[in-house]
Amino acid sequence: MSAAPVHLWRLFRWGRTLARHGALRPLERDPRTPAWVRRVAWFASLAALAPREPRFAEAFRALGPAAIKLGQALSTRPDLVGEEAAHDLRRLQDQLPPTPFADVREMLERAFDTRFSELFQSIDPTPIGAASIAQVYRAVTSDGRTVAVKVLRPGIEDQLRRAISTYEWAAERVEREGGEAARLRPRATIAAFRRWTERELDLRLEAAAASELAEDSGDPALIVPRVDWARTGKRVLTLEWIDGIKLSDPRAVAAAGLDGRKLAVIVFQGFLHQAIARGFFHADLHQGNLFALPGNRVAVIDFGIMGRLDRRARVDLARILYGLLTADYETVARVHFDAGFVPKHHSVEDFATALRAVGEPIRGLPVKDISVARLLDGLFAITRLFDMPTQPHLLLLQKTMVMVEGVAAALDPEINSWEIAEPYVRDWMRSELGPEARVADAITRNLALLADVPAILRRLIALIPPELAAPPEPEFENSRPAVAEPGPLEIRAAVRVPWWTIGAVGLGGLAAGLGIAAAFL
């Protein structure tokens, strides 16, 4: 039986809810939307007596856990859902009524196949947080330590999988429309969303992310709680208890005698170190996940959404940020073309001119008025003009940077994000892109090439047919050989070695030799 009717029925129910909150209004007037979708959106909004002003966050909250998570992901995609919707979805709160504690206790015993008393002395039955996927409790372990216990909601895995299967079905059909829909890559967006949620549904992965981040959070004053691996499994995560003040309450932070500016710098520089130096960063740094601790320290929690950038992406990002602030638009344009962000049929010079429209408005401004997140936002705004495919990993980074700037501004309204970021980015670029780093990179690349040479030669030799034994030619009286002894080229012809094989072997050896020589020059 086809799954299409099931998906269509779900989309119909979701569409009705969205229409009641006016969330389909933007589709009616967006020229990128296919005509038949605009008509459906208009009719649905009319039938639902939709309000004139859309309420996107309320609409997604009404749709349940999967839609809440999707709404949070779409808040990073103003190019896909529009600036108005993305801005409103950023206030989407991940809070739902809690699951009864009796069900949670039973699930804990089943998860560890042991009695509750062997795990914990006590646990507060009222959760300190009840999100769409999990809820968190304060507990005391059997050996007397205070911990935070995160438990998945019963049945949440099936709810999310059903919803995501429909999202994928719909995204595929939207992308088939081609044109703008294909450039925005909705299937890639939903694929990234699936990966995020699958990580969140296996709390062992969240524990591993916390453990990895704790190895180098970017600042000794940025604290990552320790994992209690003995009480952690697929559906349960137990972490060291953090007793601090949420950064969402700056008045309480100030009342405790803590320095808001120092706290903001710790968060900002910690994020820069994670994203640019390590390439592994906490991608959900909103105020509810950050706590102020005595001694002007900051603790971070909730490691369900993490971002990862390879070294090439980090170098590109640093060069883009620095180039925009120093008005080196041609270099920024070439970075985009070299990274494959802009299709080759466009002109580097035209793209550099478009970048100037992003960078020039900030030139001459006081440094406190320059926002790194706004720079990235302006950069992504020109993607449509140059047919640039969406880069989900950079959008996740942009979303996190917007969060970090918001946290810093709440702690100290006078703080200047670029004043903090510029020296770090400049010094990192000097160390990573300077002569010594280039030589080290060349050596590494060419040693890797050298290691591949035996495998390349084996594949080439495999193309040469084996020499087969043949019966001896009969001896004839007074006979002479009809052909002289074969030379090297005739041997090549006799064993039927293609000319391009010999050439490839020669060129491969030459390239390896030149690469090794270049690395040590």
**Closest among 167, 152, 440, 130 to 288, alpha carbons compared:** 130
The residue among 202 and 49 whose pLDDT is bigger is: 202
pLDDT in tens, 293-352: 999 999 999 898 888 888 888 888 777 777 766 778 888 888 888 877 788 888 888 888
- Average confidence (pLDDT) over 441-456: 57
Contacts of 410 (CB under 8 A, 6+ apart): 247, 248, 250, 287
pLDDT at 518 over 70: no
Q: Are 298 and 267 in contact (CB under 8 A)?
A: yes
The residue among 326 and 209 whose pLDDT is bigger is: 209
Model confidence band, residue 213 (pLDDT cutoffs 50, 70, 90): very high
- Residue 130, pLDDT score: 83
- Residue 345, pLDDT score: 84
CA distance 305 to 282: 7
3-class state of residue 239 by DSSP? strand
The residue among 264 and 370 whose pLDDT is bigger is: 264
pLDDT in tens, 3-20: 788 888 888 888 888 888
* Catalytic residue, candidates 88, 94, 284, 302: 284
Is the CA virtual torsion 301, 193, 195, 66 positive or negative? positive
Tokens of 143: 């050996």
- Residue 495, pLDDT score: 43
Is the CA virtual torsion 77, 80, 83, 85 positive or negative? negative
Q: Are 107 and 99 in contact (CB under 8 A)?
A: no
The residue among 63 and 440 whose pLDDT is bigger is: 63
Q: Are 32 and 177 in contact (CB under 8 A)?
A: no
**Closest among 313, 352, 361 to 332, alpha carbons compared:** 352
pLDDT at 34 over 60: yes
CA distance 24 to 114: 50
Q: Are 296 and 262 in contact (CB under 8 A)?
A: yes
- Average confidence (pLDDT) over 423-451: 59
Contacts of 21 (CB under 8 A, 6+ apart): 50, 51, 54, 55, 56, 58, 59, 62
**Closest among 212, 218, 210, 222 to 275, alpha carbons compared:** 218
Q: Give catalytic status of residue 284 as yes or no.
A: yes
pLDDT in tens, 374-404: 666 676 667 767 877 666 666 677 678 777 8
- Residue 54, pLDDT score: 83
Q: Are 165 and 114 in contact (CB under 8 A)?
A: no
- Residue 79, pLDDT score: 62
Is the CA virtual torsion 131, 306, 7, 181 positive or negative? positive
- Residue 371, pLDDT score: 64
Candidate ranges 193-202, 396-405, 413-422; pick with highest mean pLDDT: 193-202
The kind and range of the H/E element at 195 are helix 186-200
pTM of the model: 0.69
Average model confidence (pLDDT) across the chain: 77
pLDDT in tens, 152-198: 988 888 989 998 998 888 888 877 777 666 766 778 878 888 887 88
Amino acid code (one letter) for 394:
L
pLDDT at 210 over 90: yes
Long-range pairs of 91-94 with CB within 8 A, sequence gap ≥ 24 = 91/57, 92/57, 92/60, 92/61, 92/68, 93/57, 93/61, 94/68, 94/69, 94/131, 94/132
Q: How many CB atoms lie within 10 A of CB 94?
A: 20
Amino acid code (one letter) for 10:
R
Percentage of residues of the chain with pLDDT beyond 70:
71
- State the angle between helix axes of 65-74 and 186-200 in degrees (0 to 180), rounded to the nearest 10: 120
- Residue 512, pLDDT score: 47
- Residue 420, pLDDT score: 76
pLDDT in tens, 125-158: 999 888 888 999 999 999 999 999 999 988 888 9
- Residue 150, pLDDT score: 94
